[in-house]
Amino acid sequence: MIQRIQSLWLLLAACCMGLCLLLPVAKFQFVDRPTEGQRVEAQLDLVARDGADMMTQMDQPVVHYGQRFTGMETWPLVVLSLVCMALSLATLFLYRRRTLQVRMVGFGFLLNVVYAFLVFFWAVDHYADLLSAGMGGAKPEVSWAVGAFAPLASLVFLFLAQRAIRKDEALVKAADRLR
């Protein structure tokens, strides 16, 4: 049945992977010209936002660099995020075939682990290297944003969904034994 608790967990897992597309993954900051007090900030988004703009924060000029200036390609992460989201939504409607549903959730869990690994160990380091090459070799300070932790929440929700599906399967097998 679609009104089981695993449906909620699968829907929340899909929403978390959708949030990865909307929220920044990491924010980078370093001082461009210390004598002038100018700070440079950038953020890594899976879907690139526009523009370099300049604004003043507390009497200190801050330059925001967009992703397009570094040439960072995030399409593998976007595709993987969409696949994970679609897999969670497709699994939601396989409630009549619980064994297939368990396998699909397991595969989605594996894809989410690959996605989280790529975000934490490839994308952020690669973007920091591209920024530092454009700014004279200085490494920026990295602060993680919500978009980096959304796949981890999705992993938790997929684990809870698989546990609930297995519990339902055990309940159905116990009821069949009684017949």
Residue ranges covered by each domain of the chain: 5-173
Q: Look at residue 41 in the predicted model and tell me its pLDDT.
A: 74
Q: Which pTM was predicted?
A: 0.79
How far apart (Å, rounded) are the C-alpha atoms in residues 108 and 101?
10
Q: Look at residue 45 in the predicted model and tell me its pLDDT.
A: 77
The stretches in the chain having pLDDT less than 50 are 51-64
Please state the three-class secondary structure of the chain as a single string: CCCCHHHHHHHHHHHHHHHHHHCCCEEEEEEEECCCCEEEEEEECCCCCCCCEEEEECCEEEEEECHHHCCCCCHHHHHHHHHHHHHHHHHHCCCCCHHHHHHHHHHHHHHHHHHHHHHHHHHHHHHHHHHHHHCCCCCCEEEECHHHHHHHHHHHHHHHHHHHHHHHHHHHHHHHHHC
Q: Look at residue 69 in the predicted model and tell me its pLDDT.
A: 54
Q: Look at residue 38 in the predicted model and tell me its pLDDT.
A: 62
Domain 5-173, CATH number (from 1.10.260, 1.10.3470, 1.10.8, 1.20.140): 1.20.140
Q: Look at residue 31 in the predicted model and tell me its pLDDT.
A: 62
Where do we find the tokens 């699909």? 104
**What are the tens digits of pLDDT across the range 133-153?**
766 677 777 888 888 899 999
How far apart (Å, rounded) are the C-alpha atoms in residues 145 and 25?
5
Q: Look at residue 71 in the predicted model and tell me its pLDDT.
A: 59
Q: Look at residue 33 in the predicted model and tell me its pLDDT.
A: 57
Q: Look at residue 54 in the predicted model and tell me its pLDDT.
A: 38
Q: Look at residue 4 in the predicted model and tell me its pLDDT.
A: 82
